[in-house]
Amino acid sequence: MSTDREPAPPPDDTAPASGALGDSLAQAARRAGFGAVTDSEPITGHVLLGAMGGIRGIVEAVLPGLVFVVLYTLTFDLVLSLAAPVALGVLFVIARLVQRQPITPALGGLAGIAISAVLSLLTGRAEDFYVTGFLTNAGYALAFLVSAIIGWPLIGLAVGFLMGEGVAWRGDRVKRRVLTILTYCWAGLFLLRLAVELPLYFSGHIAWLGAMKLLMGIPLYAPLLVVSWLVVRSLYREPAASEVD
């Protein structure tokens, strides 16, 4: 018997909650365009774009922040710089309504922009426009770290239910190790953003903070997404290949 396998851990009280969480994560992955892994399945630009919300999703995520930092850098007018991204968010929602497309992504983006704008207006500090982003990154980092530490890595839960094996991967030492490492990698992404952006926030460098916010967004997220998917695909190909041999 292979030493890479070990008995599945006994059921515990966290399994039902983990199963519900894993199923919801898997459904989110399917909506993003990821299906079950097959030997002939390539990762295409279409799939990657789908995972990031498509061209429209990328524009809706990037443009408001870009408009804010450019306007504030040029004018130092806080009200104008905040009003512009909020107006863009409203236009994104209206455009989706007119075209009869799902408005949930645009509404979520508008809510985030509005909260950031209100916070910045209340404090009178342009850099506070980015506080909600810091809190979001900190929350994700904590969730990924804690899940990996307690042995229920979020990447494992998502992949397990996406591949139709539930939490059975926890009984496979190799899968559990790899999926845990991937979870740590995602936690590292969010921590890296905080490590770079927080010093700029506290020093008041708005232009650099806005630029790094954009550079450490999709340009970092997309490569890690690709690497994660390729690793998972390789991980789930091995059993099938060994059975054929």
Beta partners for 172? 5
Q: Tell me, what's the pLDDT at 166?
A: 86
Place of tokens 């460098």: 205
Instruction: Please state the rounded mean pLDDT for residues 206-229.
Output: 90
Beta partners for 5? 172
pLDDT at 118 over 60: yes
pLDDT at 189 over 60: yes
Q: What is the dihedral of CA 174, 179, 183, 186, to 10 degrees?
A: 110
Q: Tell me, what's the pLDDT at 162?
A: 82
Greater confidence (36 vs 219) lies with: 219
Q: Tell me, what's the pLDDT at 244?
A: 44
Q: Tell me, what's the pLDDT at 134?
A: 96
CA distance 226 to 185: 13
Rg (CA), the chain: 21
pLDDT at 245 over 50: no
Q: Tell me, what's the pLDDT at 18?
A: 56
Contacts of 77 (CB under 8 A, 6+ apart): 71
| 151 touches 139 (CB < 8 A) | no
Which pLDDT band holds residue 1 (cuts at 50, 70, 90)? very low
The domain locations on the chain are: 127-238
Task: Please give the C-alpha separations between residue 233 and each of 34, 88, 201, 219, 230, in angstroms, as whole numbers.
Answer: 11, 38, 39, 22, 5
Instruction: Please state the rounded mean pLDDT for residues 232-236.
Output: 85
Reported pTM: 0.79
Which pLDDT band holds residue 238 (cuts at 50, 70, 90)? low
Instruction: Please state the rounded mean pLDDT for residues 90-104.
Output: 91
Query: Which of 6-15, 65-74, 101-110, 221-230 reaches the highest mean pLDDT?
Result: 65-74
Q: Tell me, what's the pLDDT at 55?
A: 79
Q: Tell me, what's the pLDDT at 225?
A: 85
| 154 touches 183 (CB < 8 A) | yes
pLDDT digits (tens, 9 = 90+) for 3-61: 444 444 444 444 555 555 555 555 555 555 555 544 445 555 565 666 666 778 888 88
Greater confidence (159 vs 239) lies with: 159
